[in-house]
Structures are given as structure tokens and as C-alpha cells.
Amino acid sequence: MRSSAWSSGKQRKLLQLPSLRKEGFLFFVVVYGLFPATLGLGQPHKTEKRPLKKEGREFPKTNQVTLGIEPALIFPVGLLGNNALTALNSNNLVRFELQPLLSFRAGINLRYDLFRLRKSPLSNQFSLCSGMYFSQRRWRALVEDIGQSPSGFIPIGKDELRFIAYEIPLMLQLHLRASEQIWLQAGTGTALEFFPSHAYVPDEALTTPPHEGYWVCYLARKQLLVPAFRMQLGAEWRTEKAGYFGLGIMYHLPLPRMGDAFWRADVRDETVHPYPSPERPAGNPDLPMRVSGSYFSLELKYFLKPSRGRLSQNFQSVP
């Protein structure tokens, strides 16, 4: 009786084995499917959708100040065309000439770069520029006697005239990005020139009494302070670590003009002037020599890294 009960129980367990195996298999499948999904295993990684990065760098989030140095070569108007200022005394046959020469200018450029206006981003970069510059304009002063030699002029005197000025500009610039690191710029504005003194040649002219062969060229400033109009074009290469490197050209026009040149020469026991005197008409428009002082300049620029930290912190791309 016991053996039959045991055998019947054993048969029931044997009959239940396939169902247990089936339930275990289903449990394994469920666990294998849910557990990796919970841990993120066994499934392809889903990347988070991000906005596409724009090419290059974005504008800085705040306005910034850049400080640079700017040496320049000055090409006076009339230099390339050999258009010297000349005056001829037809009575005594004496020629006076003031020929512009290659000059230079150097100074410090202080620039305030505008990327935001009242917390609103600008579509392009604007800059307000100022600074302090030292300039030295040069001329060749020449006096010639053209009445004694049929074959040519006889020089009476020749010297180099130098005129010093200090400039304080105020300009508005527009910067356009040509590539990731190359920017094109155009600007216009004004400048205030300060002329500390007049100039004359030769050096001993004012201390030596007049004599045969004596001559002097005296360049008198028009005013102590002379305003000027400026127009500028250029390009910049901007780096993240080394700062900004620039090259540009500028036109400078003093208003109304820089000064006037006065002359005197003692030739053949006579004192000769190219400007109005009691013996000559006072309405001659060519005398005295009107010296404009206008020029074109070729500028080399270098700006330090902006004042608000590293460029890599200012130029932040879209995350």
C-alpha cells in the first residue's frame, strides 16, 4: 500500500517536471530581458540629441577691451607722384621746393569691442577705437638759383625738415568674419592732432645773421590743435593664445590744414621771399606754401589677448 502511494506520488512529480522546466525557462527569459534593460546592458546606446555646432566660434558673451601696439609707415599725398610744393620768384629767379618724404607713426591702440548691446547679441562685431600716437612727418627743403646757370639750377641750400605731432583718434569700426580666424574691418572717424612747436631748417638759421647764401625755411603750425578726418581698411588674424595680428591702410586728412611754410634767401645781395611782401601783390593764392599734412599710412597691428580672460573662455561654442 505504501509502495503504491509512493509510486503514484513519484509519477505525479515526474508528470510535473516538464511544466516546471517550462516555467523556469520562461522565468529565465523574463529576467534576462528585463534585468539588462534596467541596467542598460545588452541594448544599443541611445545618443542624446544635441543641436549642431556652428562652424567656427561664437561671439564672446560679453564686451571686451583689447590693447595693442601699432607702428606705421606714412606716405604723404604727393610722394608717389613727385608732387612737391614749389614757389618761384620770377624777379630774382629763385626756386623754393618742399618735397614730402617717407615718414613714420607709432603708438598704442585701445579698442572696446562690442558684441552685445543691452544684453542683445549683435550680428557683427563693432569697435570703438582710441589711443595715443606719435608721428613725425618729413620734407626735403630746397632752395635753388636758376638765374646764373644756363645749364641747370645752382643749389643754395638743402636740408631735411621734420614736423612732430601727437594724435588722439576716435573711430568706429565694423568687423566682418571672413573665416574662422580671419576678420575684415572698415572704419571711419576723427582725430585730434597736437603740434607742440613750429619747425625750421637749417638749425643755425635763427642764430646766424643774414649773409650772402643765407636761407631759411620756416614751417608754422596752423593751430595748436588741428582736427582730422580718418578712413581705414584692414584685416586681422585672430589666434586663441598669441592674440591678434593685423594689417591695414588709412587715409588721414587734417582740417583745414597742418600749417604754412615761409622762406627767405639772400641771393646776389638781395633778400628773396616766395610769399607776399610790400613789393609784390598780396593776393597771390600760391604763397605762402599751404602744407596740408594729409597722408596714407600702412599699419602693422598687434593686440594682446582680450582683458576678460582667455580667448577660449570667451569664444564658447554651442554645447
Position 142 scores a pLDDT of 92
As a whole-number percent, the residues of the chain with pLDDT over 70 amount to: 66
Cα(125)–Cα(201) distance, integer angstroms: 47
Position 294 pLDDT exceeds 70: yes
More confident residue, 115 or 39: 115
By the 8 A CB rule, do 64 and 314 touch?
A: yes
* pTM of structure: 0.71
Cell of 175: 568687423
Q: Is 28 helix (H, G, I), strand (E, B) or coil?
A: helix
**C-alpha torsion 20→21→22→23, nearest 10:** 50
Non-local (6+) Cβ contacts of 4 within 8 A are none
User: What residue type is assigned to position 108 of the chain?
Assistant: I
Most confident of 83-87, 88-92, 238-242: 238-242
Average pLDDT on 36-44 reads 47
**C-alpha torsion 194→198→199→203, nearest 10:** -130
In which band, very low, low, confident or very high, does the pLDDT at 24 lie, cut at 50, 70 and 90? Answer: low
In which band, very low, low, confident or very high, does the pLDDT at 20 lie, cut at 50, 70 and 90? Answer: very low
Q: Which of 70, 115, 63, 67 is nearest to 234 (CA)?
A: 70
Alpha-helical runs (H) found in 177-218: none
**C-alpha torsion 133→69→177→309, nearest 10:** -130
Condensed to tens digits (0 to 9), the pLDDT of residues 297-317 reads: 999 999 998 765 444 344 433
Average pLDDT on 205-210 reads 81
- CA–CA distance from 291 to each of 60, 73, 180, 201, 282 (Å)? 45, 19, 44, 16, 19
Position 8 scores a pLDDT of 52
Alpha-helical runs (H) found in the chain: 2-39, 311-314
Cα(163)–Cα(159) distance, integer angstroms: 13
Q: Which of 168, 213, 212 is nearest to 191 (CA)?
A: 168
3-state helix, strand, coil split of the chain in percent (to 5) is: 15, 50, 35
Average pLDDT on 234-257 reads 93
Average pLDDT of every residue of the chain: 77
Segment (H or E) for 88: strand 85-89
Position 224 pLDDT exceeds 90: yes
Position 289 scores a pLDDT of 83
More confident residue, 51 or 146: 146
Condensed to tens digits (0 to 9), the pLDDT of residues 54-75 reads: 444 555 666 788 899 999 999 9
Average pLDDT on 122-148 reads 87
By the 8 A CB rule, do 228 and 119 touch?
A: no
Average pLDDT on 81-98 reads 79
Q: Which of 246, 251, 248, 264 is nearest to 202 (CA)?
A: 264
